[in-house]
Amino acid sequence: MNRDDERPLYLRVAEQLRARITSGELREGDRLPSVPGLATELGISRSTAAEALKVLISEGLAVARSGSGTFVRLPREPQRLIRAWYRASMYGSPFRQDMERQGREAGWTYESETVQASPEIRDRLGLDEPAGDAEDVVRTDYVFSADGEPVMLSTSWEPLAITRGTPIALPEDGMLAGRGVAERMLSIGVAIDDWVEEVGARPGTADECERLQHAPGSIMMTIQRTYYSGERPVETADIVVPADRFSLVYSGKMGRIPGE
């Protein structure tokens, strides 16, 4: 390193690592030196080594994986995430269809539980006041992946008043597991015919950034979605996607005003 360079040492170390990445010496998925290893290799303090790695993570050139180390992560062109009402088929998982169009393999993990809806979710689903401690919704937390990389988080809530006692009470169990809200609801005679999405952006929480393998404070796009059957809300969800990985694309067909 140039001794005449007046920049802080951690920035000079970061630049050295960055050059190894941009030159192709370190490739996508390669493990970067550990903090102790980098400190020993360059004769610097561990705190300086740690700060240098943090710079690469903040730039999106590396990702820290708890218990595994820090790995090279090259910038990519944002992938299109289609938010369209009119699809070639209403059946199956919309996320899987999106990923297949892009030549990527979709997957997800989930955890479902019955809970009592919070006041915000009660309002979104049009639920009456709770009866004591009665559980009245199924909450499902998802981590969606593309080619094994986590790319989207979603938490959904479905009213038990609609699904209790049916084969679709748990979204990822039974014959229609993973088939998407529209197909599942239609199987019990509930046809989804409208939807509303509210899109925003904010820094990701520590938990969101860790689960999506992004640097702390990375900007996330948020989607608050609610599906309707007639005037009745039948599912609502909070969706989180990294702003540097996806662009949201909305499309729909224009109709004629009734009576014209």
Look up the CATH number of the domain holding residue 59: 1.10.10.10
- Please check whether residue 154 is in contact with residue 239, taking contact to mean a CB–CB distance below 8 angstroms: yes
Most confident of 20-29, 67-76, 89-98: 20-29
Q: Which residues contact 4 (CB under 8 A, 6 or more apart)?
A: none
Q: Which residues contact 38 (CB under 8 A, 6 or more apart)?
A: 13, 32, 44, 49, 52, 53
Q: Given this model, what pLDDT does residue 84 score?
A: 65
Q: Which amino acid is at 162?
A: I
19 and 140 inside one domain: no
Q: Given this model, what pLDDT does residue 6 score?
A: 77
Nearest residue to 94 (alpha-carbon basis) of 171, 155, 159, 181:
181
149 and 246 inside one domain: yes
The CATH number of the domain holding residue 135 is 3.40.1410.10
Q: Given this model, what pLDDT does residue 154 score?
A: 96
Structure tokens at 65: 């994986």
Q: Which of residues 72, 97, 114 is at a domain's end? A: 72
Give the lowest-confidence range in 25-29, 57-61, 112-116, 159-163: 57-61
Give the lowest-confidence range in 75-79, 195-199, 226-230: 75-79
Query: Is the per-residue pLDDT at 91 higher than 90?
Result: no
- Please check whether residue 140 is in contact with residue 171, taking contact to mean a CB–CB distance below 8 angstroms: yes
Structure tokens at 25: 């010496």
In a domain, 175, yes or no: yes
CA–CA separation, 41 and 218 (whole Å)? 30
Number of domains the chain contains = 2
* 178 compared with 125, residue with greater pLDDT: 125
Mean pLDDT, rounded, of the chain: 87
* 260 compared with 69, residue with greater pLDDT: 69
Convert the pLDDT of each residue in 13-41 to its tens digit: 999 999 999 898 999 889 999 999 999 99
* 254 compared with 141, residue with greater pLDDT: 141
135 and 49 inside one domain: no
207 and 186 inside one domain: yes
Convert the pLDDT of each residue in 206-226 to its tens digit: 899 889 988 778 889 999 999
What does pTM read for this prediction? Answer: 0.76
- Please check whether residue 31 is in contact with residue 71, taking contact to mean a CB–CB distance below 8 angstroms: yes
- Please check whether residue 108 is in contact with residue 142, taking contact to mean a CB–CB distance below 8 angstroms: yes
CA–CA separation, 89 and 200 (whole Å)? 28
Q: Given this model, what pLDDT does residue 203 score?
A: 94
CA–CA separation, 106 and 204 (whole Å)? 23
- Tell me what the mean pLDDT of segment 165-169 comes to: 93
Q: Which residues span the domain enclosing 33?
A: 9-72
- CB count within 10 Å of CB 257 equals 5
Q: Which of residues 27, 57, 72 is at a domain's end? A: 72
The CA–CA distances, whole Å, from 210 to 81, 107, 153 equal: 21, 18, 11
- Please check whether residue 200 is in contact with residue 112, taking contact to mean a CB–CB distance below 8 angstroms: no
Q: Given this model, what pLDDT does residue 88 score?
A: 46
Query: Is the per-residue pLDDT at 197 higher than 90?
Result: yes
Q: Given this model, what pLDDT does residue 259 score?
A: 58
In this prediction, what percent of the chain has a pLDDT beyond 90?
55
